[in-house]
Structure 1
Amino acid sequence: MASGGGTADMDPEVALRLFEEGATLVLLGVPRGTELGIDCKSWQVGPRFRGVKMIPPGLHFLHYSSVNSPSCGGQIGPKTGLFLSLKPREILLANWDAKEEDLDFSASANDEEVSRVRANLRELDPFLGPYPYEVMRKWVSLTDRLSDELAKGLQPLSGRVCAYSDVVPEVEFRHTEDRAEQPRNDTACQSMKEGLDRLPKMKQREGTELRFSVIPDKTYPPGATPAEITQCSMDLSYALETVLERNYELQPLNLLGELQFAFVCFLLGNVYEGFEHWKHLLALLCRSEDTMRKRKELYLGLITVLYHQLGDIPPDFFVDIVSQSNFLTSTLQDFFQFVSGPGMDSTLRKRAEKFKAHLTKKFRWDFEADLDDCAPVVVELPEGVTVD
């Protein structure tokens, strides 16, 4: 995105409406060569770049990776992203902070500064690239369940979604005598364990954590019998209902918004934690047979969400990442088996059958293979319970 870019490929009426109603991101001082994108499109910043115009109002994901100077090899750094909720005709102003290698949006709180930019918008226009309208449909399909409020509640308090974890020592040793008590590093380690023990214990910096729903470690209720534990290990409905009750009691379909948030963080933000949470949520949803019977709308929505998440991804994308240990095919195999069982809503069953046929054709996945669940289930017994 060297300067701006034309709108020749955009419908004239759409272009006019976005020109009049669209929001504007004015991003000053972004170094040349920085990889910067909004939603599902990214570019390398050119020397004339000053921001993005004609952005449809609503939720968007701005993401960027700083770059070293050519003399240092021009290496691209880890990605940083943030969710933005933009209003019609809004101007959001940010300056590049060279020290932090990040965008500083504090200028947007200065009404006088924003008014000055708005007054000079015509002069700035040739340096603003138009929003990549060709990806709008895809972006909406990936986030249609994700509200502004939900995204704000899930992203870190810092407002930044980072591809790397910002970690600090669990215990700060401010005084010399405190550090003196720690294991010395001036002698050779006798084992890998000793070496690891010498490393300082780290934790994620407060305010930088993604605020996902906590999935219970135990999938069964307190005081459950061994038979109940086994049942709750095969049907995860108790654990799923616990997550819904704690986080989305009034709006259970917001769980699908969280699934979309995690996927976007992984797909566009390169956040592996997003993939891990997406994987755990998906397993919870797909292996909750009783909840499938009770919450038809949740599962009709899940099929649509997965259709769009998997629909625009190249088939080989899943070879090394998403289908680790055959995760995705085995999880969906469980889902298709449960949803075809007795007592399921006929509309849900038919929708699932169509989705299964679509995936089989697109990815050549075999959902008819023998399930691996036939092995004995190992359950954790409550404290004090023994089996003779």
Structure 2
Amino acid sequence: MDPDVALRLFEEGATLVLLGVPQGTELGIDCKSWQVGPRFRGIKMIPPGLHFLHYSAGNPSQSRGEIFLKTGFFLSLRPREILLAKWDPKEEDLDFSASKNQEEVGRIQASLQELDPYLGPYPYDMMRKWVSLTNHLSKELVQNLQPLSGRISSYCDIIPEVEFRHTEDRAQHPRNDTACTSMKEGLERLPRMKQREGTELRFSAIPKKTYPPGATPAQITQCSLDLSYALETVLKNYGPQPHHILGELQFAFVCFLVANVYEGFEHWKGLLALLCRSEEAMVKQKELYLELIAVLYHQLGEIPTDFFVDIVSQDNFLTATLQDFFQFARGSSVDGTLRKRAEKFKGHLTKKFAWDFDMDMDDCAPVVVDLPEEFTLE
């Protein structure tokens, strides 16, 4: 990097000072991660805006097969902002409460030049990728979607629905010192669990019923084939900004791709099915669907070509969903620009994944086809 550019980034970029992070911890920002070394004290030259800090306690290189759970959270950083966090060994987590101590932050700021050799630079080679995956996300939207705790975890923090703190409470619970006579009895003996309050991702609810109240059989059939009514129900949550659904699609994808949250993958699938199977909405919401193609282009570019073969194609979700999308996009009522963009996108996916979206999807899984010429989105 040019020295003048590096100096300007150092002076204008935000800085994360992360003290006490154990050596060997896997820590990253946005789409890049590293193993923490003995000199690590934080990350410098971070461009202002929205970022995702994530880490896994423990040393994967010495784990002997042990799985380390990942934790992360979004940060909205201002130019020249300094955030200070200290590692809490008991909780195995970063504690940012030190950032509220202005005196301590002031000391860090005054000694930033001395701290510089211990700060790793932001991975600018990954910045374009990160922006393309989050360009519809905003600080406000993230705050509405993330858990109230602010932490996004790859594990589900569950606790018993009823805590038996007293002897008389436990006495009323089925005893576990006798053998179960059936599977049902065994399941009934297990404590009922719930997710700890404040740790839940707050995704939009996708309607289970895709038709309006009092719908006739004909309307139910129509709304089952064209999910536009259900989509409009979700879009109402965003008021005058329906494009925020694309931000939620990106949020769910980042939670899955970076934070390893399976719930994010499931919600991404649900939103994608809703968007791709809404023929009437595709006619009315041209700009939304043009942006959807761009969002999917970048998202699917981050996934290995064999990923969907191994996982999604078990029920053929993605190919079936996108086949419906491309079929609707060919409709005569759909805007011409959207039709052409959808056709180019279909050609790109056919080349990347070797799928034929024009075949009967009930016949078999995705198959190898003749590849089209090179595809560019622009």
Who is 2:186 aligned against?
195
Q: 2:127 aligns with which of 131, 136, 146?
A: 136
Q: What are the within-5 Å matches in structure 2 for residues 40-119 of structure 1? A: 40-67=31-58, 75-119=66-110
Q: 1:21 & 1:136 partners in 2: Cα distance? A: 16
Structure 1 residue 19: Cα displacement: 1.3
Q: Which residue of 2 aligns with 1:164?
A: 155
C-alpha separation in 1, matches of 2:228 and 2:199? 31
Q: Which amino acid aligns with 2:17?
A: V
Aligned to 1:30: 21
Letter in 2 for 1:361: K
Q: How far apart, in 2, do the equivalents of 1:319 and 1:199 lie?
A: 36
Residue 345 of structure 2 is matched in structure 1 by 355
* Displacement of 1:178: 1.7
**What is residue 6 of structure 1 aligned with on the other side?**
none
Q: CA deviation at 1:15?
A: 2.2
**8 A contact 1:65–1:76 mirrored in 2:** no
Within the alignment, does 1:184 sit opposite 2:175 as a pair? yes
Q: 2:26–2:59: 8 Å Cα contact kept in structure 1?
A: no
Cα distance in 2 for partners of 1:222, 1:102 equals: 47
Partner of 1:338: 328
Gaps of 5+ in 1: 1-9, 374-388
Match for residue 292 of structure 2?
Answer: 302
- Matches of 2:194 and 2:72, distance apart in 1: 21
1:156-182 per-position Cα deviation (integer Å, ceiling 9, x unaligned)? 010000000111111222322121111
Counterpart residue number, 1:250: 240
Change in CA separation of 1:294 and 1:146 when aligned onto 2, cut-off 3 Å: same
C-alpha distance in 1 between matches for 2:301 and 2:257: 13
Match of 1:3 in 2: none
Q: CA deviation at 1:188?
A: 1.8
RMSD after superposition: 1.7
Which of 249, 271, 280 is the matching residue for 2:261?
A: 271
Contact map agreement 2:26 2:56 (CA 8 A) in 1: yes
Secondary structure of the residue that 1:208 maps to in structure 2? Answer: coil
Q: Percent identity?
A: 79
Find the aligned partners of 1:64 and 1:284 in 2 and give their Cα distance: 32
Matched position secondary structure for 2:73: strand
Deviation at 1:79, TM superposition (A): 0.2
Residues 34, 45 of structure 1: 8 Å contact kept: yes
After superposition, where does 1:280-295 map in structure 2 within 5 Å? Answer: 280-295=270-285
* Code of the aligned partner of 2:196: R
Instruction: Give the TM-score normalised by the residue count of structure 1.
Output: 0.90
> Which residue type is aligned with residue 255 of structure 1?
I
Post-superposition shift, 1:69? 10
The correspondence for 1:15, drawn from 6, 31, 35, is: 6
Provide the rounded CA distance (Å) in 2 between the counterparts of 1:239 and 1:62: 34
In the alignment, residue 114 of structure 2 is paired with which amino acid? Answer: E
Q: Is the aligned partner of 1:365 residue 2:326?
A: no
- Contact kept, 8 Å, 1:27 with 1:93, in 2: the verdict is yes
Q: Deviations over 1:17-37 (max 9, x none)?
A: 311210000000000110000
Distance change >3 Å, CA 71–CA 145, structure 1 → 2: closer
**Partner in structure 1 of residue 376 of structure 2:** none
Aligned CA distance change for structure 1 residues 11 and 75 (closer, same or farther; 3 Å) = farther
State the AA in 2 paired with 1:354.
Answer: K
Give the gaps of 5 or more residues in structure 2: 364-378
SS at match of 2:142: helix
Q: What is the CA-CA distance between 1:271 and the residue it aligns to?
A: 0.1
Structure 1 residues 355 and 12 mapped into 2: Cα distance closer, same or farther (>3 Å)?
farther
* Preserved contact between residue 67 and residue 74 of structure 1 (Cα < 8 Å): no
Q: Which digits, 9 at most, give the CA deviation of each residue in 1:327-369, with x for residues without a partner? A: 1111000000011112111010000000000000111011011
Equivalent residue letter for 1:252: P
Tell me the distance in 2 between the aligned counterparts of 1:220 and 1:14.
56
- The residue type equivalent to 2:215 in the other structure is A
CA shift, 1:72, in A, is 7.9
**Counterpart residue number, 2:370:** none
Higher relative contact order (CA 8 A, sep 6+): 1
Question: Which residue does 2:366 correspond to in 1?
Answer: none
Q: TM-score, normalized by length of structure 2? A: 0.93
Which residue of structure 1 aligns with residue 318 of structure 2?
Answer: 328
How many residue pairs get aligned? The number is: 363
Counterpart Cα distance in 2 of 1:187 and 1:303 = 59
Partner amino acid, structure 2, of 1:232: C
Is this contact kept in 1: 2:226–2:277, CA < 8 A?
A: yes
